[in-house]
Amino acid sequence: MNAPREQKPHERKGSLPRTVRAVAWSLIGLRKGSEYQQDVEKINPLHIIAVGLAAVFLLVVGLIGLVNLIV
């Protein structure tokens, strides 16, 4: 029987929209266990870190802009 070969993190092929969707759901705090497992298998961890940092940066810039607009 052939066991599935585990891919190294840098060999995983994940699409940008899938990575953005995974990071967005993680920021909200809602995620199905089955979708999490699919993400673990398909998405490159370095891509998650890059998209996560960009999302946090955009969140902070958006909040600063909102505060400046209100004040």
pLDDT, tens digit (0-9, with 9 covering 90-100), for 8-34:
555 556 688 888 888 888 888 777 777
pLDDT at 69 over 60: yes
Q: What is the pTM of this model?
A: 0.67
Q: By the 8 A CB rule, do 34 and 2 touch? A: no
Q: Is residue 2 part of a domain?
A: no
Q: Is residue 3 part of a domain?
A: no
The domain of 38 spans 14-70
Amino acid 64: pLDDT: 97
> How far, in Å, CA of 58 to CA of 1, rounded?
48
Tokens of 8: 């190294």
As a whole number, mean pLDDT of residues 49-67 equals 94
Task: Please give the tally of structural domains in the chain.
Answer: 1
Q: Is residue 46 part of a domain?
A: yes
Q: Is residue 9 part of a domain?
A: no
Q: Is residue 5 part of a domain?
A: no
Q: Is residue 6 part of a domain?
A: no
